[in-house]
Amino acid sequence: MNAFPNATVVQHPLVQHKLSLLRRKEVSTAEFRRLVREVSLLLCYEVTRDLPLEKVDIETPLEHMKAPLLAGKKLCFVSILRAGNGILDGMLDLVPSARVGHVGLYRDPETLVPVEYYLKLPDDVAQRLVIVVDPMLATGHSAAAAVTRLKEAGAVQIKFVCLLTVPEGLRVMQEAHPDVMVYTCSVDRQLDEHGYIRPGLGDAGDRIYGTK
């Protein structure tokens, strides 16, 4: 992992256990969706570890005190459609007040080049920590394109969260956006000739939504 200073692999036992369950081909759509949501909540805990706090005055049932609350603007989660919405749900369970943006990208099946078809972000995205979510960081081209669009929109603090990635995808992200940290459950072996992660877990979007 020294070759990828932009990557953090979340090694928590619950994360690794649930990832192994996600990989199994016999897992039903409903179970897969539930597991993605659970893993996403745990990843959200990790990616928000360094959020700034400030002391504010509150009243407990017994007395007055200064207590820590999150400082500054709320987070912004940006989902790369459509599969990113599976991770978004778990993130919002933990941070329900976060703003949400969407980037619509699809990968051309012949060239593997990302094509944008939708972009909707909060107006003040430049003032927020932006956490981009997509289950798979495979070739890295879609993720890099999404982050580029976010920077063009003014975002300056960006992190990227995925379930799985590979060295190929991490290299692309590191070269395009060395300032963006990637949080993942695993760095898998490689991409195959179709751009799928091996051993991976299949097509995350199809498995979340029960499509082919």
Tell me if residue 187 falls in helix, strand or coil: strand
Q: Take residue 139 and report the two structure tokens written for it.
A: 């070739």
Say if residue 134 carries a ligand binding annotation: yes
As separate numbers, helices (DSSP H) first and strands (DSSP E) second, the chain gives 6, 14
For residue 177, give Cα distances in angstroms to 26, 86, 147: 36, 24, 8
Say if residue 101 carries a ligand binding annotation: no
Say if residue 137 carries a ligand binding annotation: yes
Say if residue 140 carries a ligand binding annotation: yes
Say if residue 194 carries a ligand binding annotation: no
Q: Take residue 13 and report the two structure tokens written for it.
A: 């036992």
DSSP, res 139: S
Say if residue 107 carries a ligand binding annotation: yes
Say if residue 154 carries a ligand binding annotation: no
Tell me if residue 204 falls in helix, strand or coil: helix
Partner residues linked to 65 by β-bridges: 58
In the chain, DSSP assigns E strands to 7-9, 53-59, 64-70, 76-81, 99-107, 114-120, 129-133, 136-137, 157-161, 164-165, 181-184, 186-187, 190-191, 197-198
Say if residue 3 carries a ligand binding annotation: no
Say if residue 139 carries a ligand binding annotation: yes
Say if residue 135 carries a ligand binding annotation: yes
Say if residue 71 carries a ligand binding annotation: no
First to last CA, the chain: 33
Residues that constitute the known binding site for 5-phospho-alpha-D-ribose 1-diphosphate: 82, 107, 134-142, 203
What residues form the annotated binding site?
82, 107, 134-142, 197, 202-204
Annotated binding site for uracil: 197, 202-204
